[in-house]
Amino acid sequence: MNILDKIVVDKRKEVNLRKSLIPVSQLEQSILFNRATISLTSNLRNSKSGIIAEHKRRSPSKSVINYSLNVQDVASGYENAGVCGMSILTDGKYFGGSLDDLLVARASASLPLLRKEFIIDEYQILEAKAYGADVILLIAAILTKAEIKLFSELAKSLNLDVLLEVHNEEELHKSIMPSLDMLGVNNRNLKTFEVSLDTSKQLSQLIPDDFVKISESGISTVEAIKELQPYGFKGFLIGENFMKTDNPGESATIFIKDLAGL
């Protein structure tokens, strides 16, 4: 079993429990459920930096990253830095996150918010909307083609953007469909946890131009972004590099200024 398999086993139990505690009708009554969403896809198309900054307390690859920050400060710091969007890990067991983190970020910043979650059930997409997300992540490695279609079409019907994540060519081939907005290549090998930008570079040429391309994981320098931009990447998802510091917003500000050559 690789780490994704383990996460999915736990996630199925968690989602079943959540469904038994909070019915869909209650999610639909959330005051956020009918809010107008903000498009990360449009922000990325019009941005020079393309930075999507993540809130990430811990991870399977790095263990503890930072438990001493509050989401409100991180979200407003990222917004002041000028990032295009914010990613919020809502998984508790492996990443130390929660749906409350998403709610607090929603109240603290007007950025497009990505619910970074291991989505295996339509219920989690309704949760994402009810807790203030603008974008959902679908991970090709844990979904069938039929599930990708069903989940992405549900998300679009709720005006949520859809980011589909792949690790290899096979996942990419089964996933391409019009109900996706963005295609993300994850540079982290989930068997070894090694990261290589070559994964993004190799898969980039197979991604049709209709989708905004995002490179995810292991990005810690401005040079890495400059290396990836010629391959057509418009978005760069950065977690640990900002979150390991005392002030992720300030780190993102310095990073974005460096990138712009200021």
Ligand X SMILES: O=C(O)c1ccccc1NCC(=O)[C@H](O)[C@H](O)COP(=O)(O)O
Q: Which residues are catalytic, by number?
A: 54, 56, 116, 165, 186, 216-217
- Determine if 97 is a binding residue for ligand X (CB under 6 A): no
Q: How far is CA 238 from CA 13, 23, 45, 165, 196, in A?
A: 29, 34, 18, 15, 14
Which lies closer to ligand X via its Cβ, residue 132 or residue 248? 248
Task: Determine the residue type at 84.
Answer: C
CB of 97 to ligand X, least distance (A): 10
Encoding tokens for residue 92? 């508790």
Instruction: Classify residue 203 by its DSSP letter.
Output: H
Q: Which stretch binds ligand X (CB under 6 A): 73-81, 124-132, 141-149, 213-221?
A: 213-221
CB-based contact 262:57 (threshold 8 Å): no
Tokens 């393309």 locate to: 50
What are the C-alpha distances in Å from 217 to residues 11, 71, 196, 200?
22, 20, 9, 10
- Of 37, 39, 47, 61, the one binding ligand X (CB under 6 A) is 61
- Binding residue (CB under 6 A) for ligand X from 43, 108, 217, 251: 217
- The single residue among 8, 47, 60, 172 that binds ligand X, judged by CB under 6 A, is 60
In this complex, which beta carbon is closest to ligand X, that of residue 131 or of residue 236?
Answer: 236
The stretch among 30-38, 66-74, 167-175, 235-243 that binds ligand X (CB under 6 A) is 235-243
Nearer to ligand X, 56 or 129 (CB): 56
Least distance in angstroms from the C-beta of 37 to ligand X: 21
> Between β-strands 63-64 and 58-59, what pairing exists: parallel, antiparallel or unpaired?
antiparallel
CB proximity list for 82: less than 8 A, separation 6 or greater: 49, 51, 252, 253, 256
Closest separation in Å from C-beta 24 to ligand X: 27
Residues in contact with ligand X by CB under 6 A are: 3, 54, 56, 59-61, 186, 188, 190, 216-219, 237-241
